[in-house]
Structure 1
């Protein structure tokens, strides 16, 4: 049984109803419906009035505003993954980032049966100080995944002690297909030096022994962000629209990463080159292969690896990486024309089941 009351669930449903699917939008504390949802989300993420009296005092003050207070500037909120785990349970992951700082932040992931309205999975994360706040539903309390699922993400962030908190929500409804995590193999990036993370050297003209990957670049305060990414995955449906190994239509892929400089956090949405050209499909085996290989001696601005815009400060730390696939398939049940999955660093460089 998930720890969510009927009143909390009703408030959340009211606030997300009618919002565009998969689009992050701010919640307005001066709007009674949004304010009720904010309180419900905060309670579910452990930030009750007793535990966080200052935050709730701010919320009480904001609810009395005569002007709209919906603000999304500086906030990034994404549903990274949702669907069914290997045991058939509902699962979801939400990432939040406040690019303006991060005195205090929370994120929450909630999965709901799209047809019955019953909650099936819940999880949250709280963080003091800046950085990525990834929330994943808890498998031990999750219920079996429904055929159609609405995934809801919530974020609350206070950038500095002198600013008002910001609240946001994102929701997406989709059929859940497949029986568990997809069989994916990622060959790059991986650590070659027994690090706990992959280390990529940028903005330096020489290699050092502590790196897993090094891209030859002039010493620069504006290094181009580059990530090698190669691998393959077996899709549990026949591939559609494949001609000579290339997808002729229906293929959609995207990538984004979060990085940190000495002063701020940055969300880089999408890469700087056409992504679908490096992805192929084998219709006889239903295997999809992607190739953005490591080419450390390549030309800056024209690498075969994934390229992102330059970012100030050469000593950036890559916080997280995501690559999302939407593959056209021939589903005999007719439930979905595409099969979606995501590869992300926070899942230990493995792919997880996603909704279609």
Structure 2
């Protein structure tokens, strides 16, 4: 039993079921990220934890207490919204203090807490300003400060960074990570941004179609996706998903892939050793496992080098992304910066097949 238990929870609106049987146990101090595309059920689940939505069936417990019928204000949770939800006519100090005033917290204690969270979030110099005088990042810090004064059992974040520009999102991700490391509080965080999910969480629940597709650590999700949806959703660029056939060559199981020029390549695939020879699979391989020979992980025991014709080259500063046609799909490899690869010319690729996975093309689940 965890600190926050979501036990076989569902949500329906009349005959429409938007969240299927969901089972997640969150330990105290964990940072759980619910990630998925719009409409997958992640915000609905967060709102049920908060008490803003009723549970159709199943139970939600916080710190050992079933909270299905407990009012939001009595659940000892704090929520940070996408829209900040600040009072425009109040100063930063007033916004942070307001909830404590409503709960009858003495003035001296309020001032002490305001000073503490303002120092923690580096907004002490903003306390006498109003929200209209603040940047988006500063407003989000104020919203977080208001939540922090509650000293809740669980923090709930509902896409808090989606209104910020790219640089501010990166900065605020770092601030939220630091905050969790300092306070060790239990956090449930909703986002559609898989980079946020991978960088912030201790565990991720990838959601789609009202179901948790996979629950695991960021490394587990990234290295061993449970199905093709998770493989394609998590990672930037996404995992390459390439139709292939398994064949045994010189006693070793290999994946055979068609190249854009009509030829084929055969790459040893030790992870597929227990699969059926002759089977059609979808080969999943990350761009960094399709790289130039000098950039390959020389500690790997499953490197295969081959030459492929290049379709597109995209310099991206620290990396160069190279697109080739494999299995009838565009496959992206991640080369080192300043690589001399050119579109329309062949280049040497090294495949790290220790990092490749196989999926069933019918069920889309992982086979190996």
Structure number with larger C-alpha Rg: 2
Alignment TM class, shorter chain as reference: under 0.3
Q: Scaled by the length of structure 2, what TM-score is found? A: 0.25
The structure that is helix-richer by fraction is 2
Q: Scaled by the length of structure 1, what TM-score is found? A: 0.26
The structure that is strand-richer by fraction is 1
